[in-house]
Amino acid sequence: MSITQTLPANGSDCAPVLNKGVLRERGQREVFCGLTGIVWLHRKMQDAFFLVVGSRTCAHLLQSAAGVMIFAEPRFATAIIEERDLAGMADCHDELDRIVDKLLTRRPEIKTLFLVGSCPSEVIKMDLAKAAQRLGTEYAGQTRILNYSGSGIETTFTEGEDACLATLVPEMPVARPDAAQELLIVGALPDIVEDQFLRLFAELGIEPVHCLPARRACDLPSVGPNTRYLLAQPFLTETALALEDRGAQRLDALFPFGAEGTTAWLRAAADAFGVDEMHFNRVVAPGRERAKRAIAHSRERLEGKRITFLPDSQLEVPLARFLATEAGMIPVEVGTPYLHRQHTARELELLPESTRISEGQDVDKQLDRVREDKPDLTVCGLGLANPLESEGFTTKWAIELVFSPIHGFEQAGDLAELFARPLRRRDVLRV
């Protein structure tokens, strides 16, 4: 095994199944694997390190997606499983212990080390849970060592973040049974967006408010029956289950995209914490109005345009709701890798009746539907964008929606603009 400073996974087969108005497909899919989450998680968790136990392909994916950090000490790396590891000529666990030892001796400031599983570590059935336990005992008091899978066999694009946060939940301290009600924002947000939300909650008089993930490991918040949590991202199924196992209760809300989504998200917390309606309106109105004005700049370009989302990040349903209700777009098909009906129930209610919802993917059939529907804009992964553009379709890379700050009032205009830009480019090229 050697260390270095990452491609997509494909799935299986079968015919589409219509399930209560949702087209369910289980065929070949074109989605990045869960390792991709490391790109934004390593920036967010400033004293954590992500050690992927994988192949050179995993290393290339990570390096090209995250860019090369020249001046900073990196916070992720790949322990490469070499041929001799695969051939059973070396004990992978000994090799991993040696790498972790080297890393933590040189970088004692690492407070949480994630051992991240990949397709190769799964194929050779390397038990990373056991490794994390063994190493965790050895480095107790210095570094918390956890593991999760980012493998393309088990996870898609944003599920890596879900798996990572779910491993943190059992590490959260137990809240005192008589503790006052606390709010927990769940999901990695860019610091600037997180700070905006924290300011708004402070103005509303809601406190204390914590975030998962916390920026530093030592700030991992406590959790218990008095915890009320708001999901900032729609792809955190396992994390939500783990929190509920610890007694936390989810506040049901729209996701904070656009003026209305953000207002509804804040309102769910305000209602749970007994904030007076007039005070809520006083605090929220300026941001909401700014967001509406910013969205209006793009509305002319978006209104009446038909849009299709191919399944990618699980952000598709709330984004389609935002575009339909606040920008006047017509979602034709909204595809998502997995549909959490409970978490997205309010979003689904606001989509037009005519919108086709699909879960999972059978890429050839889905592309046939795009050709038949002829949407004005198709949101899809990198691998499908170029072929579709060559057929004359206008596309938007779904990955940009994950890497750009798009939550909250102040980002609502930029979010609308992300969809308006490809349509503007198309119109310019046509002229």
| Shorter beta-carbon distance to ligand SF4: residue 163 or 415 | 163
Q: Is 254 exposed, middle or buried (0-12, 13-18, 19+ CB in 10 A)?
A: buried
Question: What is the nearest approach in angstroms of ligand SF4 to the Cβ of residue 56?
Answer: 9
Half-sphere exposure of 30 (CA within 13 A, CB side): 20
Rounded Cα gap, residues 395 and 104, in angstroms? 44
Rounded Cα gap, residues 237 and 339, in angstroms? 10
| Shorter beta-carbon distance to ligand SF4: residue 118 or 411 | 118
- For position 92 contacting ligand SF4 by CB under 6 A, the verdict is no
| Shorter beta-carbon distance to ligand SF4: residue 118 or 344 | 118
Size of the site for ligand SF4 (CB under 6 A): 16
DSSP string for 35-48: GGGHHHHHHHSTTE
**Contacts of 270 by beta carbon, 8 Å cutoff, 6+ apart:** 204, 206, 280
- For position 325 contacting ligand SF4 by CB under 6 A, the verdict is no
- For position 54 contacting ligand SF4 by CB under 6 A, the verdict is yes
Rounded Cα gap, residues 285 and 272, in angstroms? 19
Q: Which of 55, 143, 196, 313 binds ligand SF4 (CB under 6 A)?
A: 55
- For position 86 contacting ligand SF4 by CB under 6 A, the verdict is no
| Shorter beta-carbon distance to ligand SF4: residue 57 or 143 | 57
Per the document, the length of the chain is 431
- For position 164 contacting ligand SF4 by CB under 6 A, the verdict is no
Which one of 150-158, 176-184, 305-313, 336-344 is the stretch in contact with ligand SF4 (CB under 6 A)? Answer: 150-158
Rounded Cα gap, residues 101 and 86, in angstroms? 22
| Shorter beta-carbon distance to ligand SF4: residue 95 or 154 | 154
| Shorter beta-carbon distance to ligand SF4: residue 151 or 366 | 151
- For position 233 contacting ligand SF4 by CB under 6 A, the verdict is no
- For position 61 contacting ligand SF4 by CB under 6 A, the verdict is yes
- For position 65 contacting ligand SF4 by CB under 6 A, the verdict is no
Binding site as annotated, residues for [4Fe-4S] cluster = 33, 58, 119
Half-sphere exposure of 203 (CA within 13 A, CB side): 17
- For position 331 contacting ligand SF4 by CB under 6 A, the verdict is no
Question: What is the nearest approach in angstroms of ligand SF4 to the Cβ of residue 29?
Answer: 12
Rounded Cα gap, residues 180 and 226, in angstroms? 7
Provide the token pair at 193. 């967006």
Question: What is the nearest approach in angstroms of ligand SF4 to the Cβ of residue 33?
Answer: 3
- For position 119 contacting ligand SF4 by CB under 6 A, the verdict is yes
Report whether the peptide linkage leading into residue 213 is cis, meaning its omega lies within 30 degrees of zero: yes
- For position 186 contacting ligand SF4 by CB under 6 A, the verdict is no
Of the candidates 291, 361, 272, 373, the residue with the CA atom closest to the CA atom of residue 332: 373
| Site map (CB under 6 A) of ligand SF4, residues 6-45, x = contact | xxxx-----------------------x-x----------
Q: Measured at CB, which residue is nearest to ligand SF4?
A: 152
Cβ–Cβ under 8 Å, residues 26 and 11: yes
**Contacts of 303 by beta carbon, 8 Å cutoff, 6+ apart:** 327, 328, 329
Question: What is the nearest approach in angstroms of ligand SF4 to the Cβ of residue 58?
Answer: 3
Q: Which of 147, 151, 355, 395 binds ligand SF4 (CB under 6 A)?
A: 151
Of the candidates 157, 176, 167, the residue with the CA atom closest to the CA atom of residue 136: 167
Q: Which residues bind ligand SF4 (CB under 6 A)?
A: 6-9, 33, 35, 54-55, 57-58, 61, 118-119, 150-152
